[in-house]
Amino acid sequence: MWQRVNTGMGASPAPDLDAELMLRVREGDEDSFRVLLDKHRNPLIHFLYRMVQDQPVSEELAQEVFLRIYRSRASYEPTARFTTWMFRIATHVALNWLRDEKNERAQERLDDDRDYDLPSRELPDRKPTVEQRMLYRARLQEIRDAIALLPAKQRAAVLMHKYQEMEYSQIAAVLECSESAVKSLLFRAYETLRGRLAHMVTRGTK
C-alpha cells in the first residue's frame, strides 16, 4: 500500500547514524523513532519557526514533518543523509504554508506571539530594564522583518546556512538546485540583509 519513498537526493552517500536509526524504524523499532524525534525536534522547530515566524504554526508544521517521516517508514531508502531528507520535507511544508494566501494573512499578526521571542538567554544575571527589553524587541523585530521580506527560497537558504550550519551541498540537495545556485542565493540574500539592517550592522574590519 505504501509508495516507495526514495529520499531522492542524487548520489548515495554512506548511511549516517540517523539513516541507520530510520532503517530500524522501518523494521518496526519505535524507540529508534523516539531517538530521532528527540535529536531533531528542536532544530527542526527552530528552522520552521524562523521560516514562518509563528511559534504555534511552526510546531504544527513540525508535527506534520515527523508524521510524514513516520508514515514513510515502511518504504524508506537511505539514498541521502537523513537530515537532508527531513529538511527537504520541512522546507516543502513551510513553503506551502507561506504560499497559502490565508496563512499569509495570519502571518501579519506576528505580534500575537511576541512572548515566544524572549529567549531564556536574554535574561542573564540581572533582570533587564524596561528600556533594554524594548530595545531588544525593536532590534529583534527588525531582524525578523528583514528576513521575512526575503524571497522564500533565499530565506530558507539563509536559515539553513546561518542557523542550521549546513554545507552548501546539503542546502542544494534540500532546495533541489545546484551548489552554485545556492551560493548565488546566499550572496544575494546576505547582500539584501546587509542593506536592510545597515543601521544595525556596524561596518568595520575583522
**Residue ranges that bind other proteins, judged by CB under 8 A:** 1-3, 5, 37-38, 41-42, 45-46, 49-50, 55, 59, 62-63, 66-68, 70-72, 116-117, 119-122, 136, 139-140, 143-144, 147, 161-163, 165, 168, 180, 183-184, 186-187, 190, 193-194, 197, 200-206
Output the smallest distance, CB 135 to other proteins, in A: 11
Return the half-sphere exposure (C-beta side, CA atoms, 13 A cut-off) of residue 155. 22
Output the smallest distance, CB 139 to other proteins, in A: 6
Output the smallest distance, CB 173 to other proteins, in A: 16
Nearer to other proteins, 16 or 142 (CB): 142
Burial of 23 (0-12, 13-18, 19+ CB in 10 A): middle
Output the smallest distance, CB 19 to other proteins, in A: 19
Output the smallest distance, CB 23 to other proteins, in A: 19
Nearer to other proteins, 168 or 177 (CB): 168
Nearer to other proteins, 27 or 38 (CB): 38
Nearer to other proteins, 10 or 194 (CB): 194
Cβ of 1: how many Cβ atoms within 10 Å? 4
End-to-end CA distance of the chain: 57
Cell of 197: 539592517
* 50 contacts 163 by C-beta, under 8 angstroms: yes
* 48 contacts 58 by C-beta, under 8 angstroms: yes
Nearer to other proteins, 72 or 170 (CB): 72
Contacts of residue 99, Cβ cutoff 8 Å, sequence gap at least 6: 152
Burial of 77 (0-12, 13-18, 19+ CB in 10 A): middle
Strand partners of residue 6: 77
Nearer to other proteins, 30 or 104 (CB): 30
Output the smallest distance, CB 84 to other proteins, in A: 17
